[in-house]
Structures are given as C-alpha cells and as structure tokens.
Amino acid sequence: MALVVKKFGGSSVASTDKILNVANRVLNDKHPDDQVVVVVSAMGDTTDDLISLAQGIDDQPYKSSYSREMDMLLTTGEQVSIALLAMAFQKLGQPAISLTGSQIGMHTSSNHTKGRILSIDPARVIHELDKGKIVVAAGFQGIDKHGDPVTLGRGGSDTSAVALAGALKADSCEIFTDVDGIYSADPRIVKGARKMREITYYEMLEMARLGAGVMQPRSVEVGQHFNIPIHVRSTFTDTPGTIIREDYTMEEQGFIIRGVAHDEKVAKFAILGVPNQPGVAHKVFAALSDANIDVDMIVQSIRNVEQDITDIIFTVEQNYVAEAKAVIEGVAQKLRALGVEIDEDVAKVSIVGAGMLGAPGVAAKMFGALAREKVNIEIISTSEISISCLIKADRLRAAVNAIHNEFFPID
C-alpha cells in the first residue's frame, strides 16, 4: 500500500471534461490498496478572473487594506474545482470527498495573500483515507488563528501539495501540469529548451525564485525541508517528467548553467538625488518593509562628484507598485529627494546553475549574448548560483533566446 499525493494545476482542470479526465487518470494509475490525496487548483484562469472582478471595485485590489477580502474571494476558485473533482470520482464509482484548506488542517500565518504554512493537522484527511475515500484537497488555501481563509501566494497549490505530502509522510508527490517536466527555459518562450531528468532543490528554488513559474518557490523549500522528491510531469501524457531532489543521481551535474529564467512582473523604482549619508537607505527600505513590500534588486549610485547625493534604485513585484509608490513618495519628501521615477516596462532575465560557482567567464558570456542582441542592461544582480539582468520588457523574448542559445547551443 502506498500513500500518494498528486497535484493538478489550473490548466489540467480547466473544464468539466478535463476534470473527468483527471479523475480517470488518477484511477488508472491507482493500485487497489493505494491511498490517494489529490490537490487541485482553481479551474483554468479562475484566479485571474476573480482578481479582475475585484479590479471592478478598485483597480488596486492588492492594497493591504483589502487583503482579507481578497483571500475570501480567491479561495472560492479552489472550492469549485474540489467539489467537481470529488463528484467526478463518485460518478466513476470511486468514493471521494472534497476538503477545504481549513478541513485539511492547513494552518497559516495571518498575512493575507502571502500566507505561510505554520503547521498541518491532517487528522481528517487520514480519517477519510482510512474509510477508503480519495481525498480531494483545495490547494492555495489555509486558515489562520482567527479562522479566516488565507491564500499562499500565486501558484500556491504546489506548496499545499508538497506540504501535505510531508505532513502525511507520503510515498510520492507528483505535480501534474501542462508541460512534461522542467526545461532549461520556459518552453513557451524558447522553442529549443531542453527537458531535464533531474534538478536539485537548490537550483530549482533559484529558478523558481527568479520567475520559472512552473513551481512556486516555497514548494521547493518545503520539499527540501521534508526531503521529498517532487516529480513534475504532464497531465496529458504518461512520459516521465523531472524529479526535483537533493542531489543528482545521473550525469547531469556537468552543466555550468541549468537554465534561463525570466520574470515579467517587475517594476523599477528610482529615488533620485537623496543625501549621501548614513541611514538614508535604511529609511527607504524600512518604510517598504513596514508596508510588507518585498524588494528585489537594489542599486545605489553616486550622481556626480560635485554633489553629495545619490540615486537609490530597486525593483518590486508589479502587484505592489501602487502601495510602494505611496510609501516611496512619502519617504522621498522627507529626505528632500529630487524626484521619484517608476518604470513598469521592465523585466528580469537570469541564468541559474550551481556549476557557475568558481567557473570564470559565465557573466561575460551572458552579457556578450545580450550585447550581440543589442539589449541594454539596466541593473545587474548576482547570487551564489545566479546572475540576473533587468532589461526593457519588450526585449525579453529576444534576450531569453539569445542567452539560451549561448549556453545551450543547438547541435
């Protein structure tokens, strides 16, 4: 007997036909004694549609004052898909029950729209499995100490599934999606992207953090925490996908870079002409932190030698531009800055790979590919295993392809 957790993303359950297809597939793969938990996302673009609905009330629905109501709204998406999938199983003769985030015991922090899982008490899940039912669990949602629904950030069903697999000590965790594995770049952007058989948690986490939306970054961290291999594979074919695990078991570790990631949901802020004094950067970033706004790339540069003023430039997630603007304009006024500029037409392209540690020339190779494509770099940032460049959004596709061709030449 095995206990298996399978997660199906929005495109896999986009219609009732697809929901029936998922139910059939799960039953075909199920051995008689298996206990099965299926985690699902909302149908198709439901979450985006719900956000658009909220924009009909206010075009900035991600303001922190709305975040509780946003969660109340967004959690409805998964409630629809779990009910339909449980009905699909029953129609096929398989006892099944749908459970919300609260019913699976998914306890989260109270920071709405960006909740963190604090603990899972899967007693109800185990009880239903022991009765011979398939449990269909809502992804993306949990409940806080006040009993309010909280969502886990976009793409959060991946994290629900991996965390549930950890809490249940499941024998396997499969993430079914509309691609048949993890590729060296988003296959929608790079035609020649290469499928990987394996990738480490470390590298996948960096790819995901830098925009590879196939897995939510937090889900990879949770997988690493529980040391659960995560199998990312296609809903629509039987081909083996990619295993995310602690270390390589095959020869794949030879690559200098594993992949190219990109992120379009970025906005650049520049606070121009602030005093070049201790404590100024602290004032700016403390104000953003107090407003719960994550900052990504940061650059501070001296304007010119005559004046003792600097520009502070940084990026934030596009959803938080309105909130960040209000915070930054307040700080800029207090610091008597010369002005604030905001550019939403930017994007970030990154290369990722543990092999670049100690390998000279990797950055030069990336910048060379961008130079030949005449893509201007606005900000560069690095981590131990990645290099990122902020560029104009309309050059993103060309940039991703140029960098990919440089590191993974077509043979």
Decide if residue 9 touches ligand ASP (CB under 6 A).
yes
Cβ neighbours of residue 57 closer than 8 Å, sequence gap 6 or more: none
Residue with tokens 């996948």: 204
Q: How far is the CB of 110 from ligand ASP (least distance, A)?
A: 19
Q: Which residue has the tokens 């249940």?
A: 168
Q: Is 77 in the site for ligand ASP (CB under 6 A)?
A: yes
Q: Which of residues 132-191 bind ligand ADP (CB under 6 A)?
A: 155, 177-179, 182-183, 185-188
Token pair 């719960």 in the structure block, residue: 292
d(CA 128, CA 100): 13
| Helix, strand, coil abundance in the chain, percent, nearest 5 | 40, 30, 35
- Which span sits near ligand ASP by CB under 6 A: 41-49, 184-192, 245-253, 314-322? 41-49
Q: Residue 71 binds which one of ligand ASP, Mg ion, ligand ADP, none, with CB within 5 to 8 A depending on kind?
A: none
For residue 186, which of 156, 169, 208 has the smallest C-alpha distance?
208
Q: Angle of helix 201-209 relative to helix 217-226, nearest 10 degrees?
A: 160
Does 149 sit near ligand ASP (CB under 6 A)? no
Tell me the three state secondary structure of residue 20: helix
Partner whose footprint covers residue 241, from ligand ASP, ligand ADP, Mg ion, none (CB < 5 to 8 Å by kind): none
For residue 25, what is the enclosing H or E element? helix 16-29
Site mask, ligand ASP, residues 158-197, x = CB under 6 A? x---------------------------------------
3-state secondary structure of 96: strand
**12: Cα within 13 Å, side-chain hemisphere:** 29
Beta strands in 153-215 (DSSP E): 172-177, 198-200
* Contacting range for ligand ASP; rule: CB under 6 A; set: 11-19, 24-32, 154-162, 174-182: 154-162
Would you count residue 157 as binding ligand ASP (CB under 6 A)?
A: yes
Q: How far is the CB of 177 from Mg ion (least distance, A)?
A: 7
- Lookup: tokens for 298: 């940061």
Of ligand ASP, Mg ion, ligand ADP, none, which one does residue 182 interact with (CB within 5 to 8 Å by kind)? ligand ADP
Question: How many angstroms separate the CA atoms of 157 and 7, rounded?
Answer: 8
The count of residues in the chain is 411
CB of 45 to ligand ASP, least distance (A): 8
Shortest distance in whole angstroms from residue 183 CB to ligand ADP: 4
List 214, 288, 349, 403, residue binding ligand ADP (CB under 6 A):
214
Q: Note the residues at the interface with Mg ion (CB under 5 A).
A: 9, 155
Q: Per-residue x/- mask for ligand ASP, residues 287 to 326, rule CB under 6 A?
A: ----------------------------------------
Tokens of 371: 């130079």
Tell me which residues touch ligand ASP (CB under 6 A). 9-10, 41-42, 47, 77, 139-140, 154-158
Tell me which residues touch ligand ADP (CB under 6 A). 9-12, 41, 155, 177-179, 182-183, 185-188, 212-214, 259
